[in-house]
Amino acid sequence: MDIEEDIRSLQLDSAEENNGVANPEEEKPDEVENEDKMEEDPKEVRTVSQPVNPEPKVKHKEVSAPQDVEVEAEKGITKRHLNVVFIGHVDAGKSTTGGQILFLSGQVDDRTIQKYEKEAKDKSRESWYMAYIMDTNEEERVKGKTVEVGRAHFETETTRFTILDAPGHKSYVPNMISGASQADIGVLVISARKGEFETGYEKGGQTREHVMLAKTLGVSKLLIVVNKMDDHTVNWSKERYDEIESKMIPFLKSSGYNVKKDVQFLPISGLIGANMKTRIDKSICPWWNGPCLFEALDAIEIPSRDPKGPFRMPILDKFKDMGTVVMGKVESGSVGEGDSLLVMPNKAQVKVVAVYCDDDKVRCAGPGENLRVRLAGIEEEDILSGFVLSSVAKPIAAVTEFIAQLQILELLDNAIFTAGYKAVLHIHSVVEECEIVELIQQIDPKTKKPMKKKVLFVKNGAVVVCRVQVNNLICIEKFSDFPQLGRFTLRTEGKTVAVGKVTDLCAA
């Protein structure tokens, strides 16, 4: 375990992703703000076991119903694929922007848009009609709040994109974590409307927590779209845009982002589609000389993935459809029809019957793809979200204890962090109750070296190496081997209290 490693890696860049984060000495943990208090936290149906501090159930939804299109992609997958998570404070315009993208890219026709316009008008919510494309259930449409992680697809000339529309409300942060854990890049949507940016950015607003969680969950690149620039309180004002950018940059740096390399700002209007598919007209916004949203998405570069590595696909969901079908994002390796795999941690050997990418049946698929895989040899009720589809030759480890390096962000009521501390662990698609059973050593944030004195407890801002225990077997990897499966967050009572990385595994 390399305790000399840059503490900034706790905000969890892999070696490939870390393109120059801020100096840990400049770190300001107290700048990372979280919710003051959970608003009537809904009871969660546990993914693996019931936690002491339950969180809302993590949900996923397909914007268009999954279809088994029995036409194989003979030419294979040629375009690169990126998963884009839309994050930000509630009402910033994430669903509206996502819906507009689908409309502009031809995924939604005019007749459907007219139907949504009428439906929104009947609810006296005329400006919500674009959000209805992403918010598909009635609860979301009535309240105007995304609850589940919406999933949709669109293409540009060079790239296939999967949109993950994460909820912004603080009651559904676990769902946002689920969406961000599947993403390669993030689009942080910020409202330029007077008062709305301030509400999202101040203490208790979700803009700050979403940025911090995105970095923790491995979203290495951020596009920050300043939305609602057409609002009458803004009128495409350069002063308002510059004000938002100047306030966001210091916080982005403190969260571990290299602003020059990994972050890009641009103004848009999600409702009317301005500066999205084509660059905005100079008569409307004479000061903007940068790209439009589609161009910026196309230009983003991400680290290459290893299609020949051991196969790893955390399972997000499962259902019955002429057999058992599992859904998830491939984090490593490739999969094809006829392959023999293991479902971990129950070590069930299965055979791949069919592989579906988007709505198409394909012969094989590699890392980064969101797939539906039909399996033979296992029943749907024997699979839980958080299980991992894994190669037989090199299966993923299943453990109940591991060693981790943690950065404490903000404990509830300024509590102390010590052996016996309990929280809810979020790691890839696993949501599990955990307990800190031992504090091994504290790390000096200035020298990055372990302190000699024995550590009994730590407070906000501390970096500590500890042993973590869970009740049930979970599938994880060391961060140094698989960053996507070795980075995690700890939450309690609806608040993110720590972020960390797995440094070693204990034998089960």
Length of the chain in terms of residues written: 508
CB 149 within 8 A of CB 178: yes
Give the per-residue pLDDT at 67. 36
CA distance 165 to 154: 13
User: pLDDT of 396-455, one tens digit each?
Assistant: 999 999 999 998 988 887 678 999 999 999 998 899 999 999 999 998 877 888 888 888
Query: If you write DSSP's letter for every residue of 18-42 in order, what string do you get?
Result: -S-PPPGGG--GGGS---SS-SS-P
pLDDT band for position 125 (cuts 50, 70, 90):
low
Can you tell me which residue has the tokens 């905005």?
Answer: 280
CB 465 within 8 A of CB 440: yes
User: pLDDT of 450-484, one tens digit each?
Assistant: 888 888 988 888 899 999 999 999 999 999 988 88
pLDDT band for position 46 (cuts 50, 70, 90):
very low
What is the DSSP-derived secondary structure letter of residue 202? S
Angle (deg, nearest 10), helices 238-254 and 206-216: 50
Kindly report the number of other CB atoms within 10 A of residue 23's CB atom: 10
CB 392 within 8 A of CB 342: yes
Q: What share of the chain is helix, strand, coil (3-state, %, to 5)?
A: 20, 35, 45
Question: Cis before residue 367, ω within 30 degrees of 0?
Answer: no
Most confident of 99-108, 303-312, 413-422, 470-479: 470-479
User: pLDDT of 338-354, one tens digit each?
Assistant: 999 999 999 999 999 99
Distance of CA 335 to the CA centre of its chain: 23
CA distance 47 to 41: 17
The first and second tokens of residue 88, run together, are 């930000």
Distance of CA 331 to the CA centre of its chain: 14
Measured CA distances, 276 to 111, 283, 454 (Å): 21, 16, 55
Angle at 89 between CA 85 and CA 91, to 5 degrees: 100
Tell me if residue 399 falls in helix, strand or coil. strand
User: pLDDT of 353-395, one tens digit each?
Assistant: 999 987 788 999 988 888 899 999 999 999 998 999 999 999 9
CA distance 428 to 433: 14
Kindly report the number of other CB atoms within 10 A of residue 141's CB atom: 19
What is the DSSP-derived secondary structure letter of residue 462? -
Phi-psi region of 131 (alpha: psi -120 to 50; beta: other; left: phi over 0): alpha
Sign of CA dihedral 312, 147, 128, 211: negative
Give the per-residue pLDDT at 429. 85
Q: Domains in the chain and their CATH numbers?
A: 69-299 (3.40.50.300), 312-391 (2.40.30.10), 397-508 (2.40.30.10)
Give the per-residue pLDDT at 35. 36
Lowest mean pLDDT of 163-167, 197-201, 335-339, name the range.
163-167
Query: If you write DSSP's letter for every residue of 115-149 in order, what string do you get?
Result: HHHHHHHHTT-GGGTTGGGT--SHHHHHHT---SE
Give the per-residue pLDDT at 434. 96
Measured CA distances, 393 to 209, 333, 349 (Å): 39, 12, 12
Most confident of 90-94, 201-205, 272-276: 272-276
Q: Residues with Cβ < 8 Å from 405, sequence gap 6 or more?
A: 1, 3, 5, 10, 443, 463, 464, 465, 500, 501, 503
Partners of residue 490 on adjacent β-strands: 425, 498
Sign of CA dihedral 164, 165, 170, 175: negative
CA distance 330 to 151: 16
Helices (H), 182-280: 196-201, 206-216, 238-254, 259-262
Lowest mean pLDDT of 11-15, 39-43, 94-98, 457-461, name the range.
39-43
Report the relative pairing of strands 60-62 and 149-155 from DSSP bridges.
parallel
The first and second tokens of residue 48, run together, are 């693996």
